[in-house]
Amino acid sequence: MGSDNTPELKSSESASDYEPIVIIHVDTLPLVDKGCRVVGHAQALVDYATPLLEKMPGDSLAAYNAAITIASCCWKQAATQGTPEVFEKYGWPLVLEFMPKENPAAIHGLMLERFLKMFPYFDSERDGTHLHEAVVDPPPQYKEFDESKFELLDKAFPLTMEELPIAELGEFVNHAQVNDKPAEDYEAEMQVLRERLTDMFADWLGRKGVSPETADDLGGIAYRFLEFLYNYSHTTYTSVSREIIAEFFDTWFIRKCAFDPAWMSMAPVAVKILFHFLFEKKLADDVTDTIIAVDECKPKFFSNLRLYVDPRQVRTRAA
């Protein structure tokens, strides 16, 4: 896998085919006069990785992370005029794993050439190379939420008179949603419902013996789940299918809510308890199938979450 085996590629693209890119910085702004496009580090890396993203099979989170990691390996070598050890250790296996029809050495050479054409004014001291630290440093450590140690008090807390307006608002919004009424006709009510229902859920958790911090964390995930149901899936908490649950856990939540992984690991518990809450308050009918669907999604969800934290775990990625 050494660099001696890397072919000298003759690309069909010339330097004139590229719009020069510079990393945004006070010292790079004058380069705009030379026809350069100024972007941030993240956008620069994604633009650089475009050929890899196009070659990836499908659009899974695993494939996206693999493409970005391969690009980062090549970027680090090109930006520092270094040696190919990082690519050989991390990039080469990813090419073999995700792009079996491609020659890793050819991909390596192509990406090194691409960097020189895309970033002709790159200055490692000015622009830095911190984009690549995630490739060579240990992944961030976090503790996944332990569902087995999470308990709720057995005492039931049915719907109260104070909560009745929220239930009625839910009936109104749900009726409008399932009957395909224009969203702008009830958008304000839908937002209020998500907020009030989340507050009601957090209060219920507190009554069930959950600490304020954990109740707040679970409530935050519940809010994002309700957002997914109403704004993205155009459904309601009374008509959730297994397919919708799978979409939320397989792709949407990790892509849209990429925050603290320890918090993200609470998602399956949060959604299951949310439906327990809805059932106890008689806001939803039998929720058994929904809870089973969440449990069925957990293995793939946690595999994707670990891959999000450390893209190098290609062997544990979800299929």
SS3 of 197, please? helix
Q: What are the tokens at 88?
A: 């050989």
Whole-Å CA distances, 164 to 126, 205, 283: 60, 18, 10
How far apart CA 18 and CA 117 sit, in angstroms, is 7
- Give pLDDT tens digits for 276-305: 999 999 999 999 999 999 999 999 999 888
Reference 200, options 243, 148, 139, 159; nearest CA is 159
Mean predicted confidence (pLDDT) in 220-246: 91
| Domain spans of the chain, in order of start | 3-136, 147-316
Tell me the backbone φ, ψ of residue 233, rounded to 5 degrees: -95, -10
Q: What whole-number distance in Å separates Cα of residue 315 and Cα of residue 216?
A: 34
Question: Over 50: is that where the pLDDT of 133 sits?
Answer: no
Contact 261, 143 (CB under 8 A): no
Q: What is the mean pLDDT of the chain?
A: 80
Mean pLDDT is lowest, of 119-123, 249-253, 262-266, for 119-123
State whether the Cα torsion 209-211-214-220 is positive or negative. Answer: positive
Which range, 29-38, 117-126, 170-179, 288-297, is most confident? 288-297
For the stretch 232-241, pLDDT in tens is: 888 899 989 9
Scan for tokens 């050495």, then name that residue.
105
**Span 59-69, average pLDDT:** 83
pTM value is 0.57
Can you tell me the mean pLDDT for 2-30? Answer: 47
